[in-house]
């Protein structure tokens, strides 16, 4: 259960302005990121936990879910977190043509702009799938793809206890971007145990910096 994706062996050679795989390295900072929300039950519970530890994160939102739950998005921003683009409907991007991929991204950005005023957001592809034409299109348009360097595996069929054991065996390093999800309860259970540990080790938790 290695939390560091094999794809990093290639992606880490790309400029960070194209594909972001690492955050702040100069200090003991971790970047918690949450995909697939906002969720009316799970996201507020995570926000409560983050607030209790003074941690700020980045939430990569599905456009249609953000449209359904605007109050949750407003709370995310109000409490000092950042939001990113995780497509409108979380489709299988490899099955879409470039025009459809672009519409998934741009439709979501138009909605997110109504919340934070930013015309463009970092894009995290659903399931981390990055077809080459889409990557090249993002580069041409100056849109940064936000990947990750540490996968919590909270979307797998493993138990919370297994995920906690893996996090203890493979501790995150300064500057790493942690992939988690806020459409289920596993990330909360994992963080209830590990967030106090990481805070005790001197880590701070900050949103990803804008491109």
Q: Catalytic: which of 35, 36, 122, 182? A: 35
- Contact (Cβ atoms closer than 8 angstroms) between residue 3 and residue 150: yes
**Bridge partners for 150 per DSSP:** 178
Q: Is 20 exposed, middle or buried (0-12, 13-18, 19+ CB in 10 A)?
A: buried
**Bridge partners for 180 per DSSP:** 34
Respond yes or no: is residue 35 known to be catalytic: yes
- Contact (Cβ atoms closer than 8 angstroms) between residue 112 and residue 83: yes
Q: Catalytic: which of 36, 121, 181, 182? A: 181
Please list the alpha-helical segments (H only) found in the chain: 8-11, 42-52, 63-68, 70-78, 98-116, 132-140, 160-169, 186-200
SS3 of 141, please?
coil
Closest to 73 (Cα-Cα) out of 89, 54, 59: 59
3-state per-residue secondary structure call for 65-81: HHHHCHHHHHHHHHCCC
- Contact (Cβ atoms closer than 8 angstroms) between residue 100 and residue 74: no
Respond yes or no: is residue 53 known to be catalytic: no
- Contact (Cβ atoms closer than 8 angstroms) between residue 68 and residue 37: no
**Bridge partners for 66 per DSSP:** none
| Catalytic positions, written as ranges | 35, 181
């Amino acid at each position: 259960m290695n939390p560091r994706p094999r794809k990093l062996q290639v992606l880490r050679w790309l400029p960070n302005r194209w594909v972001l795989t690492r955050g702040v390295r100069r200090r003991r900072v971790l970047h918690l990121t949450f995909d697939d929300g906002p969720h009316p039950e799970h996201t507020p519970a995570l926000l409560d936990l983050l607030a209790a530890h003074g941690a700020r994160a980045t939430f990569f939102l599905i456009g249609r879910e953000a449209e359904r739950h605007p109050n949750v998005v407003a709370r995310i921003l109000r409490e000092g977190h950042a939001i990113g683009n995780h497509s409108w409907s979380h489709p299988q991007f490899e099955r879409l043509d470039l025009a459809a991929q672009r519409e998934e991204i741009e439709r979501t950005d138009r909605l997110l702009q109504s919340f934070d005023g930013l015309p463009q957001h970092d894009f995290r592809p659903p399931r981390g799938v990055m077809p080459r034409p889409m990557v090249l299109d993002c580069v041409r348009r100056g849109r940064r793809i936000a990947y990750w360097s540490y996968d919590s595996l909270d979307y797998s069929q493993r138990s919370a206890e297994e995920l906690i054991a893996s996090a203890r065996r493979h501790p995150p390093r300064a500057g790493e971007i942690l992939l988690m999800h806020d459409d289920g309860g596993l990330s909360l259970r994992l963080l209830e145990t590990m967030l106090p540990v990481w805070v005790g080790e001197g880590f701070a938790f900050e949103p990803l910096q804008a491109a």
